[in-house]
């Protein structure tokens, strides 16, 4: 069976990874690639192992499917350009699919491309290193929403490269994406806060990263296996207000921003600990301590 053809606009880390996996598995035949620079498009085509670099969307070949893999702010204007490019084809046939991979935006941002079927497909995966993602994307979940023909096609496409798929209501897309941001982007920010605190304690970055690796991996495993209520450990889970107060004083004497982050995250931990076994009186003491600057 001849694979469907695919054009990619904005073949960065995500676009390159999906393009190569789909090309290798025979899901799609990658045809045209349009990036901000022709040099970047050529590099993407080389990584994918297929596709022709194009300077403009108007120069891209006809295709069954179009992926807009740009940043969120560029999707709407690019959709209008794709719509203009598709107009001659859509006057003859309307089985074209246009989709994007933004976690925050719904498929309706692609409405100018109708009567093509439109959809959004957000892989819950960190594409920091495309070469690594080629090996690790399988098993990741992909949230789909949009027109039924597009969603059906994308379900088959992502399943073929080992992903799990789920559908989501368009009106819940922002909340869904915020949940992903908490677990991925904010986790990265938390690790940076940890490294900054270790640095203030005189611990070098390489040593700190080595120190953190086993406890971070074990904490993630405990949370996913047991749930946050049972996985929470440390002074707040124990109701140890003296230790929390000492840490707050040390942070405030070092970096007020670190102390502020400690307070906000600490209050979230108190609420989590309440759902565990933290007594109400201990929770009240910790809440007061974390809500007010220490003397």
Residue 138 to residues 7, 17, 93, 132, Cα–Cα distance (Å): 22, 12, 33, 11
d(CA 105, CA 112): 15
**Long-range contacts, 21-24 (Cβ 8 Å, 24+):** 21/134, 21/137, 21/161, 22/157, 22/160, 22/161, 23/48, 23/49, 23/50, 24/49
What pLDDT, on the 0 to 100 scale, is given for residue 95? 86
Dump the DSSP string for 80-102. HHHHHHHHHHHTT----EEEE--
Q: What's the distance, CA 141 to chain centroid?
A: 11
Asked if residues 120 and 107 have their Cβ atoms less than 8 Å apart, the reply is yes
Cβ contact 142:155 at 8 Å: no
pLDDT attached to residue 88: 81
Straight-line distance from the first to the last Cα atom of the chain, in angstroms, rounded to the nearest whole number: 73
Reading the chain (295 residues) residue by residue, the pLDDT tens digits are: 689 999 999 999 999 999 999 999 999 999 999 999 999 999 999 999 999 999 999 999 999 999 999 999 999 999 999 999 998 876 666 689 999 999 989 999 999 999 999 999 999 999 999 999 999 999 999 999 999 999 999 999 999 999 999 999 988 988 998 998 999 999 999 999 999 999 999 999 999 999 999 999 999 999 999 999 999 999 999 999 999 999 999 999 999 999 999 999 999 999 999 998 899 999 999 999 999 665 5
Task: Give the pLDDT of residue 91.
Answer: 61
Strands (E), 41-96: 52-54, 65-68
């Amino acid at each position: 069976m001849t694979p469907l053809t695919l054009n990619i606009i904005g073949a960065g880390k995500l676009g390159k990874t999906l393009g190569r996996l789909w090309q290798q598995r025979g899901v799609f035949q990658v045809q045209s690639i349009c990036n901000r620079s022709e040099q970047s498009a050529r590099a993407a085509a080389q990584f994918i192992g297929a596709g022709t670099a194009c300077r403009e969307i108007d120069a891209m070949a006809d295709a069954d499917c179009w992926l807009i893999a740009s940043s969120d702010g560029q999707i709407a204007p690019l959709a209008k350009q794709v719509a203009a490019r598709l107009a001659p084809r859509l006057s003859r046939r309307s089985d074209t699919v246009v989709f994007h991979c933004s976690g925050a935006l719904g498929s309706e941002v692609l409405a100018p491309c109708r009567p093509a079927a439109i959809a959004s497909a957000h892989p819950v995966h960190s594409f920091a290193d495309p070469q690594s993602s080629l090996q690790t994307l399988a098993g990741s979940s992909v949230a789909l929403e949009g027109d039924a023909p597009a969603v059906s096609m994308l379900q088959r496409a992502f399943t073929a490269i080992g992903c799990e798929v789920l559908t989501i209501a368009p009106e819940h897309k922002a909340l869904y994406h915020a949940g992903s941001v908490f677990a991925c982007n904010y986790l990265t920010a938390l690790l940076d806060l940890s490294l900054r605190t270790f640095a203030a304690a005189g611990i070098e970055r390489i040593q700190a990263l080595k120190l953190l690796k086993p406890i971070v991996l074990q904490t993630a495993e405990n949370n996913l296996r047991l749930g946050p209520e049972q996985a929470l450990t440390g002074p707040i889970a124990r109701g140890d207000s003296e230790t929390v107060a000492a840490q707050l004083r040390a942070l405030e004497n070092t970096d007020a921003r670190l102390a502020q982050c400690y307070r906000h995250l600490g209050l979230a931990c108190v609420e989590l600990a309440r759902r565990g076994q933290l007594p109400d009186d201990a929770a009240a003491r910790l809440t007061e301590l974390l809500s007010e600057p220490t003397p």
